[in-house]
Structure formats: structure tokens, C-alpha cells
Structure 1
Amino acid sequence: MIQINKRLTKVSEYLNHNKLADIGSDHAYLPIYAIQKGLINKAIAGEVVKGPFLAAQQNTKTYGMTDSIEVKLGNGLEVIDETIDVITICGMGGPLIAQIIEEGQHKLNEYPDLILQANIHALPIRQVLQKIGYKIYDEQLIKDKKHIYEILVAKKGTMLLDEKEMRFGPILLKNKSDLFYEKWQRELESLNKISKQLEHHDDQIRYNEINQQILQIKEVLK
């Protein structure tokens, strides 16, 4: 059995599908694990960088999965050319995940489920999901080593998030777990530092913007 890290294990808990497209698959760890666990039957492992693409090919051979997992070299959702019912995009920043979804939205005509794990800044993901007709059904925070990651699970549907829900996550905001407080407390500390640095600079717009964010976080953490 292949070993995968804590955040990919958490992502795998949402898989119960026939065919997966794992975008930015790196070493194809998630598809291999998901097939071994009987969570999916087949997968595409998409990778845009040659090194990880070759590593994914090697791993699928090592684990005897060349018939079940097709490793493809290509940018974002370009690697999808058939019906799949779930897409995972993990281990990237929120803005990049949002860009991949937006640029590849013509590949989402049949609305496969989306399981997205952002390393930082999930807000742009929520914006693009709302825009293209997806609804967030679950959100999780997961701490792996010292970093706190966000996982978003979306399916076809409509939602209308307000500014707070966009930033903090509609479900995370409702549940406010210990990890939620820890994540935003850290963010608050980092914004306070930036605010102090900007205090004596000319960039008044940025300074006001940062202070606005600080106020919003403080309000949510009350």
C-alpha cells in the first residue's frame, strides 16, 4: 500500500467515484492510493512539468496500475478528453487553482465533482466556483506538520456568498473549529506586521486595505 500524507488522506475521504482526474498529480500518489482503497476505478494523472510526469509514470508501473491510471503531460484541465466524474487539484495556491478551473471551464460541461486543496488564499476559488455554477458542499481545515490547509468540495449548484463567506468559507465560518481560530489568528499577526510597515509609507490605499482586513478578521474571531 502506498503511503500518502495527511492532507491527501483527508482529500481521499471525499472520493467515491468511477473516474478521477487528478490535476498537478506530482507522483500520482493520490490516484494510486484511491485505487488501492477501492475509492475509484480509473484515473487520469495530469502533470504540466516533465520531472513529476516521469515520476508519476514510474509509480504507476511500480504499483502495477498502467491499465487503471493514464499519466498525461498537459496544462491544467487540458488533459481531460473523456467523461470523468471527479476532479482533484491539490497542493497549490488558491489563485492558481482558481485560474486552472476558470481556464478549463469548457471541460466542466458535465459538472464533475471538484475536490480542491489550497495551500494558501482559497478566496479566488470560491469566487470562480460561484461564477461557473458550482456550490460548496463541504469545507475542511487540515493541519499537516505546521501548515494549515483548506479543502473545498463543490458540486453543481448555485450559491450566493457574501464578502465574509468568500474570505472565510461559508461552512468553515459556520463551524469555527479550533483550527479556524488558529489559522486566522496567524493571518491577523502577519497583517498587523504589514500594517506597521506601511504606517509611514505613501501607499495609503494598501494601508487602508490591510486595516480593513484586520478589522474583518477581528470581528470574525470574536
Structure 2
Amino acid sequence: MTETLPRLDQRLKAVASQIRCRVHADIGSDHAHLIRAMLAAGRIEYGIAIENKRQPFLNSQTTLAGCEAEVRFADGLDGLQSGEADGLSICGMGGRSVVGILSAHPDRVPPLVVIQPNRDVDRVRQWGIESGYHLVDETIAVGHWPYEILRFERADIDRDPAYDGLDREAALMFGPHMIRRWRTDFVERLKAELAYLEALDQLTDVAAKRRDVIERLLA
């Protein structure tokens, strides 16, 4: 039977498709639609929504009323105990903020972590390498812009095989699984970004690095 994920846009549907566990925590839940949809679809048995702003906290309480879930008013992993959840998601934040949350309480990070960062995605991939979490899958959901969605799983070995044999800088920047799959839409996005960067009169150091990496990938 095909599972339905109600009230979710394509971005959050793609996030939900990466999650299947018993107890799942979502940080920065906003309206908690992700948790409610995954409960309805049977992808999780219990949800924990964590919010540090009053209105989203109240929104989440309304959404999850009567569900096998709870809403906690806390800052990131301050609202979760070690071993309490099997899965964790953080969506719609910058990569720096995501890494800050994950690094604040590393002992509280569950075995499954799904991240949808809005920028600085390379920092999230680097967190996985440094923290013993392997990047087991990544995908792109198209909305207002392409949203990258990363799934990490805690591993017993330090080396992440996803990066084996690849240009490490390119893999951190654009994704090892994306590079290995080399799908047409991914290649077209690389070409479009390269054309945009080459048309600029001046490039920042970061933009110049991205240009150089794309040129290596497309060579």
C-alpha cells in the first residue's frame, strides 16, 4: 500500500520518506506537520516536537492535540535526553545553526539524523564525518529552490565509505551520492551555477572556490 503523508509540501515529504523509527524528535517543528504526517503514515510511533519560540510552540500543540506526541519548549537538544529518541530531524535552518545544535549535546543525538539545511550544507556533511555518522543517502526536493536532504546513521567505523575515491572538497560541497549518481538534473544545476558564476564581474573567495570545484566535476 502506498503511504500518504498529508499536509506536507514536497520538501517535507522528501524528509519524511527518509524517516522510519519508533520515537522521533523534530527540532524547530513550527506547526509540527511533519510529525503529525509521519504518525498518520505509520512511519513513527511517537513524536517529540521541540520549539524555542512561543508561537510555533503553540502551533505545534494545536497540530498534535490527541496524537501520540508531545511538544517541548526548549532550545535544540536541551529538550531531549540521551537515548530518548531513535530519530531526529532539523529542517529549514542554516548549516551552521544545525551543526551548533548537534554539537551542543553529542550524547543526545539519536542513531538516525535527517537534515534539510538551507545553506552551508558542506558543514553538515563535515559534521557527519567528524561525529561518527555516515551519510547513507541524500536527495533533492524541488520547491522555491532545490532543497538538499541528508540522512545520516551512526556508524561503528570512522571512515564513511560514501566519500571513497571522490574529490573530498567536491563531495562535501555537492554531495557524494549526488556525484556518484550523476543524474541529468544534478548536472544541469551544476552547469547553470557555473554559467552564473562565470558571468559575474567579481567573485568572493567562496564563490571562486565553488566555480573551481564545479569546473573539476564537469571536466
What range describes the TM-score normalised by the shorter chain of this pair? 0.7 to 0.9
SS at match of 1:197: coil
- What pairs with 1:55-66 in structure 2 (closer than 5 Å)? 55-61=59-65, 64-65=66-67
The Cα RMSD (Å) is: 2.0
Task: Give the match for residue 215 of structure 1.
Answer: 212
* Structure 2 counterpart of 1:188, from 180, 184, 194: 194
Shift of 1:19: 0.3
Once residues 172 and 113 of structure 1 are traced to their aligned partners in structure 2, the CA distance between those partners, rounded to angstroms, is: 20
Shift of 1:40: 0.6
Once residues 88 and 213 of structure 1 are traced to their aligned partners in structure 2, the CA distance between those partners, rounded to angstroms, is: 27
Structure 1 unaligned blocks of 5 or more: 199-205
Once residues 74 and 32 of structure 1 are traced to their aligned partners in structure 2, the CA distance between those partners, rounded to angstroms, is: 20
Aligned pair count reads: 206
Cα pair 2:15 2:116 within 8 Å, conserved: yes
- Mark the CA change 1:197 to 1:129 in structure 2 (over 3 Å): closer, same or farther: same
Once residues 105 and 189 of structure 1 are traced to their aligned partners in structure 2, the CA distance between those partners, rounded to angstroms, is: 40
Task: Give the match for residue 75 of structure 2.
Answer: 75
- Mark the CA change 1:6 to 1:43 in structure 2 (over 3 Å): closer, same or farther: same
Read off the aligned partner of 1:220 and give its amino acid letter. L
Task: Give the match for residue 197 of structure 1.
Answer: 202
Shift of 1:50: 1.1
Read off the aligned partner of 1:48 and give its amino acid letter. N
Task: Give the match for residue 100 of structure 1.
Answer: 101
- Mark the CA change 1:216 to 1:44 in structure 2 (over 3 Å): closer, same or farther: same
SS at match of 1:141: strand
Percent of residue pairs identical:
29
Shift of 1:185: 3.5
SS at match of 2:38: helix
* Structure 2 counterpart of 1:5, from 9, 22, 38: 9
SS at match of 2:178: helix
* Structure 2 counterpart of 1:27, from 28, 31, 55: 31
Q: Deviations over 1:72-126 (max 9, x none)?
A: 1111111112521000111122222122111231313xx4200111222210001
What is the TM-score with the length of structure 1 in the denominator?
A: 0.84
- Mark the CA change 1:135 to 1:50 in structure 2 (over 3 Å): closer, same or farther: same
Task: Give the match for residue 149 of structure 1.
Answer: 147
Cα pair 1:134 1:159 within 8 Å, conserved: no
What is the TM-score with the length of structure 2 in the denominator?
A: 0.85
Q: Deviations over 1:135-190 (max 9, x none)?
A: 0000101111x410101111112335422211111111111223322433343345
Shift of 1:193: 5.3
- Mark the CA change 1:130 to 1:197 in structure 2 (over 3 Å): closer, same or farther: same
Shift of 1:212: 3.5
Read off the aligned partner of 1:106 and give its amino acid letter. D
SS at match of 1:140: strand
Task: Give the match for residue 203 of structure 1.
Answer: none
Structure 2 unaligned blocks of 5 or more: none
Cα pair 1:148 1:183 within 8 Å, conserved: no
